[in-house]
A and B are shown apart, each in its own frame.
Chain A
Amino acid sequence: MNLRLACSLAMASLWYRRKVLALVTLTLTLSITLLLGVQYLRTEVKQTFTNTISGTDLIVGARSGQLNLLLYTIFHIGDATNNIRWSTFQKLQGDQRIDWLVPISLGDSYRGHRVVGTNEEFPKHFRYGRDQTPELNEGEWFNDVFEVVLGARVARKHDHQLGDDIILSHGGGKTSFSNHKDTPFTVSGVLAPTGTPVDQAVYVSLEGLEAIHIGWESGVAIPGRTVTPEQALERDLTPGSITAALIGIERKVLTFQVQREINEFREEPLSAILPGVALSELWRIMGQFETALLAITGFVVITSLIGLIAVLLTLQVQRRQEVAILRATGASPLLIAALHVIECVLLAVAACVLALMAGAAGIVGLSPWLLETWGIQIGLRPLNGMEWLMIASVPVAAFLVGLIPALQAWRGSRKQGLGHVMAE
């Protein structure tokens, strides 16, 4: 069979019918973009997700499930069930096997952003992504009780500069009615964007959190018992308890040993979790949802392919004359069938190319917004094997469904006489 002739005829035919076919191609393009987009985002979100924390060997908190502990310490979702005593933290600090500890104290908020009480160990030891430390964009890490370091998004959203004074709120939530208005904090530094929940939080010292809660022991400010910043500084600001701690262990073989001992700690019930294990469990739950989403988009692509075939079958009625001419000129039924299959595959390839361009443009256009709104950092990258496989499967599927009109044309043209007269 003359493949070159079939291809050039198919292309001329598609171009001739471009107005009718533009819409179905657009439908197909959109559905492929959707399919690729979901798959691409899946990979990227998973990457961002697993990048949230690295380098930490154990997370210690009050006794609870590992997902809960991971969610509130790292993702700032949900609340701690209980605290751990400061004496316990100090005991852990004394453990020879543990190389570093980062205390984390949660509970307050600033305009809906979590306030994280910690110390100077945090910028030294907290890691995200590929072993990256949170860098300060401007200013420096807090040195004083009433200094605060802002996450990149917090600073940007509320347009805070170094030296601004901010008032923290008691408890969580976007609007809080009980504010620590007597004890403002001064912005001493702003972190660079990380694409992790770090961007959404504000960081103060443990002593600062202690200071603003003097007179708040019952949960609300009791008049006459609260203090001014100056008075607070004269008190002992050693915290009574913290929410959790991140632990680094240089000799990895000791990790499980330390974990077991913490889990069996006699003085209070504690949980020590491996962040990697908890992350993959969390991803397994979310991953099911994403797989379902991917399956749905797969069906969208199949639906648009069926739409394409419906249009091609409708066009076939108009093409009877053209087929008669080709047959009379000596084209075999096979050539007529090939014409249909090639047209179908060419449309699918065109849709794939358009989808790739639309996808790339979409990612470039939307990535600042995604980082801004959802804290998801997405950039252009070469497609991976799975994604190429998905794109390639579309022309293959088009080839298969294209066999339907092709078979019909092949059968029709075998029965056809010379000209269109005997076509019925």
Chain B
Amino acid sequence: MPDMNSQTDLPAYSSTITREALRVSQVTFRWDQSQGPIAFPEITLNNGEHLFLRGPSGSGKSTLLSLLGGLILPDTGKLTLLGEDLASLTSGQRDRFRADHMGVIFQQFNLVPYLTTLDNVMLPCRLSRKRRARALPTPEKEAESLLTALGIPPSHWHRRVTGLSVGQQQRVAAARALTGGPELILADEPTSALDSDNRDRFIELLLGLAAEKHSSVVFVSHDQSLAARFDHQLALEVTQ
């Protein structure tokens, strides 16, 4: 079996080589022939900057995140992440790229149910050597300090995640996305299941910790009131 999670022949992506976190240029994608293609606007985001993406359902928000995550490739146009053209990578290399350089937060059900809180947070460090190397002083210590910063009580750390509240689960997911300081964090409506108090606290903590780790956040939401906290914002339109 090819060794997909430990190969090291990819160039090192860091802010010293490029200052650009992502560039989307003339990208279109269609899921199947019966639907028309979705065309995406031009997007450029520098390292450490945060982008707020807003759009009604059907505007291709989730599709854009799948493209950015390297799970699917654009039909036309060019998608560059950290100076690397995703289309030039094999699917295995894209999986590795995601493990090394991205953190992902979903709307809900973010955690592997059979792992403890701490194991969920450390999952990226087990999948990527680079993330492990950047999780300082150790993956476990970093996870603990992230959980502390995100307000998860230590009594939950070694327990299975099924006992956590929805708000706590989203914060554990944020800790997982942040661990090992990835260059890019993709967040797919992570606050939609939270009440307004939890939501504000979540965004504050996420953006604060992302700034500490010099990570760029691409935040998808339909909640316009959150947009003000971001460096850039972009609205997606329904293209059909």
Contact = CB atoms under 8 A, between A and B. Distances in A.
Interface residues of A, number: 32
Interface stretch (A39-47, A179-187, A413-421): A413-421
Contacts of B106: 324-325, 328, 419-420
Interface residues of B, number: 44
B239 interface: no
Chain A interface helix/strand/loop/mixed: helix
Given A418-B65, A422-B31, A332 B112 contact: no
A325 B126 contact: no
A278 to B, nearest CB: 57
A2 B127 contact: yes
A346 to B, nearest CB: 14
B62 A421 contact: yes
Contact of A329 (B3, B107, B127): B127
A330 B126 CA distance: 10
Given A12-B114, A325-B112, A418-B188, A331 B62 contact: no
B3 A1 contact: yes
B81 to A, nearest CB: 13
**DSSP majority for the B interface?**
mixed
B4 interface: yes
B126 A322 contact: no
A321 interface: yes
A334 B4 CA distance: 9
Contacts of A420: 106, 109
Given A332-B95, A418-B62, 11 more contacts: A16-B113, A16-B114, A325-B109, A329-B99, A329-B127, A330-B97, A330-B99, A331-B5, A333-B91, A417-B72, A419-B106
Interface of B: 1-6, 31, 62-63, 65-66, 68-69, 71-72, 91-92, 95-100, 102, 104, 106-107, 109-115, 119, 123-124, 126-128, 160, 176, 186, 188
19 contacts: A1-B3, A1-B4, A16-B160, A329-B123, A330-B95, A330-B102, A332-B5, A334-B1, A335-B5, A414-B91, A417-B63, A417-B66, A417-B71, A417-B72, A418-B68, A418-B69, A418-B71, A420-B106, A421-B62
